[in-house]
Amino acid sequence: MIAHADTIPKQRHPLIAFLLRWLLTTNHKEIGTLYLCLAFLLFFIGGAMAMVVRLELFQPGLQFTQPDFYNQMVTLHGLIMVFGAVMPAFVGLANWLVPLMIGAPDMALPRLNNFSFWILPFAFILLLSSMFMEGGAPNFGWTFYAPLSTTYGPPSTDYFILGVHLMGVSSVLGAINVMVTILNMRAPGMTLFRMPLFVWTWLITAFLLIMAMPVLAGAVTMMLTDRHFGTSFFEASGGGDPVLFQHVFWFFGHPEVYIMILPGFGIASQIIPTFARKKLFGYHSMVIATIAIALLSFIVWGHHMFAAGMPLAAELFFMYATMLIAVPTGVKVFNWVATMWRGSMTFETPMLFAVGFVIMFTIGGFSGLMLALVPADFQYHDTFFVVAHFHYVLYPGAIFGTMAAVYYWLPKWSGRMYDERLGKIHFWTATIAVNLTFFPMHFSGLAGMPRRIVDYSIAFADFNMLSSIGAGLLGLTQILFLYIVVKALTSGEKVTDAQVWEGAEGLEWTLPSPAPLHSFETPPVIEPDDAHAAADRA
């Protein structure tokens, strides 16, 4: 039995009770909800900044913004989307789903869980307040290369640095929690190789976070001392090197991009088997591919620096290592397709998003391979081609993955169904908008349009107009998504069945819908075949 005393007396003023409940909660579902709400809020803020950027780029010339403000918008957009939208959304999903999927009563360290979450709003207050400071917000791009961020950074850079420190603390503590939960809290019989893939991918994501975030903390700390205490880490006249910053940053940065996609891989691997009504093809190879990707991600950071100046041997090493990552990635895509092969497929909204994920993520993987070629990258680097690449892996990857997850598990979380027709409309408009926004960037990039510059040659005008129209549409689809979720929560059809989707497997579908506040008060017993993996049958 779970010893849980409600310490909040019932007769408190409702508003205070409400605040206390959310401020003090140690429940994984409530904290998961908080993460998802914060991520969605920041997604809108970051999205609004993207709208400013696309509005400015609608036509060549300076229309709406001054160059410095444009740079601030590009920078904050990137930082907020990476640290504020994608990462918290995934942590929110982990909070909601990991205990359900492994048959645990809650996260392993519930108080720490609350701490990890509530650090975040403050971190973003620090970061966003920089917009209102003298000298403006950080304007050096989300990668904050030295010396732009050291010698030339505005005063608000220091708030940004401390903001990043707080985000780092939050992520590391959150990752430790997920890690320990998965390693220690599995129900009897839930062996590692019976875990659902979402849990596996999060286990590995947690490892990446624990290994990479402290390095980012080191990078911003060196920035801070270079800015104010006279050190010369990134200063050649003192024996340091600005390129050192890039090495440290990308040592964090490349694992970070996998932090932003691995949980998405996990989500696709949960959803596709359900709607193909088949077991996931190649469970073990999926797990091994994920581990391989994670380990390789620590030795490929140099592919972001091909044009920055490295010895030839290093360029070659990073090129081959990067291309090697395509192998386990290909294994995954192959397995998803093989899962669908000859399945009895239906295309409910989560499945649409998952299939869209597979197809468009693959496009992004291919442009990544092009970028991995050193001589080609000399041409493509710092052009819109790179922007196209990472938006193809991140939007249909991380964002579609998250949305697929929300559609898929919302009935379980809330006990209410979303509107299937609106969901389909959402998927198709979003897919059209994503491609309209980001596909033309491949062309403008290959033709030489540099990224992060407020103005551009009229030669790129048509492509940019298309991108901006697409971006506007994409912005509207977010409002549709918000509407669909709110509608589902307030007036959606009630779900009574525990098994929401007929083909779904996993422990979360054995709990009633909506899932009770405390997941598994007594540990479920996992028979070899209940577990998601077909591992034991092999």
Residues with active-site annotation = 77, 106, 142, 170-171, 254, 256, 258, 269, 303-304, 329, 332, 451
Helix 349-372 × helix 312-340 angle, to 10°: 160
Task: Please state whether the peptide bond connecting residue 514 to the residue before it is cis, i.e. omega within 30 degrees of 0.
Answer: yes
172 alpha-carbon distance from chain centroid? 15
Query: Is there a contact between 194 and 535 (Cβ–Cβ < 8 Å)?
Result: yes
CA–CA separation, 304 and 314 (whole Å): 12
- The residue among 22 and 44 lying less far from another protein, judged by its C-beta, is 22
Q: Which stretch binds Cu ion (CB under 5 A): 250-258, 375-383, 453-461, 466-474?
A: 250-258
CA–CA separation, 92 and 13 (whole Å): 28
CA 461 → CA 61, 101, 102, 464, 468, distances in Å? 10, 49, 52, 5, 11
Helix 87-102 × helix 400-414 angle, to 10°: 40
CA–CA separation, 436 and 443 (whole Å): 12
- The residue among 318 and 460 lying less far from another protein, judged by its C-beta, is 318
Min dist CB 254 to Cu ion, Å, is 4
CA–CA separation, 476 and 426 (whole Å): 10
Q: Which stretch binds Cu ion (CB under 5 A): 121-129, 251-259, 264-272, 306-314?
A: 251-259
Min dist CB 260 to ligand HEM, Å, is 5
- Residue count at the site for ligand HEM (CB under 6 A)? 24
336 makes contact with ligand HEM (CB under 6 A):
no
Query: Is there a contact between 206 and 122 (Cβ–Cβ < 8 Å)?
Result: no
| Contact flags string 392-431 toward ligand HEM, x per CB under 6 A | -xx--x----------------------------------
Q: Which stretch binds ligand HEM (CB under 6 A): 165-173, 186-194, 241-249, 369-377?
A: 369-377
Contacting residue, 77, 186, 194, 254, with Cu ion by CB under 5 A: 254
| Contact flags string 128-157 toward ligand HEM, x per CB under 6 A | ---------------x--------------
Residues in 315-334 that interact with Cu ion by CB under 5 A: none
489 makes contact with ligand HEM (CB under 6 A):
no
Token pair listed for 479: 């409002």
- The residue among 192 and 473 lying less far from another protein, judged by its C-beta, is 192
Token pair listed for 450: 């540099």
Q: Report the SS3 class of residue 2.
A: coil
Q: Which residues contribute to the site for Cu ion (CB under 5 A)?
A: 254
User: What is the contact surface with ligand HEM in residues (CB under 6 A)?
Assistant: 143, 257, 260-261, 303-304, 322, 325-326, 329, 365, 368-369, 371-372, 377, 380-381, 386, 389-390, 393-394, 397
